[in-house]
Structure 1
């Protein structure tokens, strides 16, 4: 019998939990939104007793549950005592993005019905700090398009293809913010022409077409891309033959806004075209002074 798989989705309000549940449902999970944590152990027990019919379950539990959410720690303890294996997926985003999302949707923050949104966000971070420490998978959706988040989830939690083949995550970052700790391959692109010194491009990300065209328009960039793509194409099947199932390719420039973003997108497109299971993340875009990235309708 296939092992029971439980995902508990939680995190900051406005970080994209609803979208996560929709994606997980699409790939075959039985999903319940806003379940009181006190009910989780009993519900898991019922699912296990249900046999093959309910083997992959995703539950959303967050501070919308009010006082019921305080039972989360006890419920997780009960799951462990019952021998139920689970993964906690924690969704977060930076304060500026969360405030923007609330203003766009005109929603009221559950912890600040009569106060500023920023006050509710601050209080929520404190309440969730301990749970975040226990999370198995933290996803920062600040710079993610819905399609990018979907690919990350499909790569991590796919049912039919779980454990098959090599999956790749391409991550852009800024060296001044530190290396990604889970990187397998690190590519330094600080030798490429820097749009930062062009006033019109300084506050635009490497995903903006004019910035991308500027970076990719230089012969040195085209030469680098050909050699880099060729090297990665050589490495991936060899990693896979050695039994590696996940690979993180990190691409870094100074601040993580222009060159690394552009080149990460180029690598992502290249691998996608070649049929690879690939996802992309731009870790440090929002740590810069960004005036233009992608259109709002492409964001979560």
Structure 2
């Protein structure tokens, strides 16, 4: 696990490793987790970016490899040691490794030349790179071998190692809408509440909304609401942590009814409270709450 730093201290992660082992994928995933990422930054300019007085984000991931200008592993290690000892910086190093045969396959698949191979076959370049990077590999705080990894496997591993230090969390939105105006296109999970009795047809409730106590009491009075709401709550409390673990940044949960003013509004508000109690911080949106009941197609029945 990467070293943790106080909230006010700059957090720095050096990302290096074998060409083809997944550095670009790792940096992109770190960006999604809220890190500011820089790749192949000239080593001689690191002092400006990392030094004790350097400005920057509290979470900074810097990628470099054998192609980076002025890349000398022994010099980088010595410089990082000085930053840690003299400036008290929280610096960790991630090394991405991969077996030679798999790296060779990846290079052949992409038809790319190895940077250190020159006119020689790819295995010669890989061998030279492995020898060059040996000090960095031995010194790294976190070593990830991507030989048997898919891209998704690497992303998952990066999240497991570094998501706890990331400043951003998954954004959860709970919304209500009217089926009469169409489903929200960005909804990840849609629940149709039209199986409930419609307050629109109850005297005195048509002009009210799901934010009013009378409508809430009417909906709660249905036995099927209580049982179904508990099932939906359990499902969401199980799914949301799994979405977060998979690195999903946004989850939109939408509840719909015919007019988007009664059943869906009440359910969305009640569900948002359940999610807050479960440790989430949902944003609540009511897409059609401002529409007049007469403007929406309620039909002649009670759907």
Secondary structure of 2:80's partner?
A: helix
- Residue 150 of structure 2 corresponds to 145
- 2:43 counterpart residue number: 37
SS at match of 2:15: strand
Structure 1 segment 270-289 matched on structure 2, within 5 A: 275=241
Partner in structure 2 of residue 77 of structure 1: 81
Q: Match of 1:25? A: 31
Task: State the alpha-carbon separation in 1 of the partners of residues 81 and 165 from structure 2.
Answer: 30
**Residue matched to 2:263:** none
Aligned partners of 1:35 and 1:59 also within 8 Å: yes
After superposition, the C-alpha distances for 1:88-111 in whole angstroms (9 at most, x for unaligned) are: 000011011100110111111111
5+ residue gaps in structure 2? 1-6, 170-237, 247-303
Give, in whole Å, the separation in 2 of the partners of 1:108 and 1:131: 23
Calculate the aligned-residue CA RMSD, in Å.
2.6
Question: Structure 1 residue runs of 4+, over 6 Å off?
Answer: none
Partner of 1:58: 61
Check whether the contact 2:65–2:71 (CA below 8 A) recurs between aligned residues: no
How far off its partner does 1:34 sit? Answer: 0.5
Matches within 5 A, 1:22-171: 22-45=28-51, 48-50=54-56, 54-70=57-73, 71-80=75-84, 81-158=86-163
Further displaced range: 41-50 or 115-124 = 41-50
Aligned length: 168
* 1:19-70 deviations in Å (ceiling 9; x for gaps): 11111111111111011223223211378535xxx11000011110254335
Bigger Rg, structure 1 or 2: 2
Correspondence for 2:251 = none
Structure 1 unaligned residues grouped into runs of 5+? 165-271, 280-300
- Residues 1:43 and 1:67: Cα distance change in structure 2 (over 3 Å): closer
2:92 counterpart SS class: strand
Question: Residues of 2 paired with 1:90 and 1:160: CA distance?
Answer: 18
Structure 1 residues 141 and 48 mapped into 2: Cα distance closer, same or farther (>3 Å)? same
Tell me by how many angstroms 1:74 deviates.
3.1
Quick one: distance in 1 between partners of 2:136 and 2:165? 29
Distance in 2 (CA, whole Å) between partners of 1:58 and 1:108 is 26
- Name the structure 1 match of 2:298: none
Residue aligning to 2:216: none
Tell me the TM-score normalized by structure 2.
0.50
Q: For residues 138 and 117 of structure 1, do their structure 2 counterparts lie closer, same or farther at Cα, with a shift above 3 Å needed?
A: same
Does the 8 A contact of 2:43 with 2:69 survive in 1?
A: no
What are the Cα deviations for residues 96-137 of structure 1, in whole angstroms up to 9, with x where unaligned? 110011011111111112111101111111111111111011
TM-score normalised to the size of structure 1? 0.51
- C-alpha distance in 1 between matches for 2:70 and 2:30: 27
Q: Post-superposition shift, 1:161? A: 6.4
Report the CA distance between 1:140 and its aligned residue: 0.6
Q: Distance in 2 between matches of 1:104 and 1:61?
A: 23
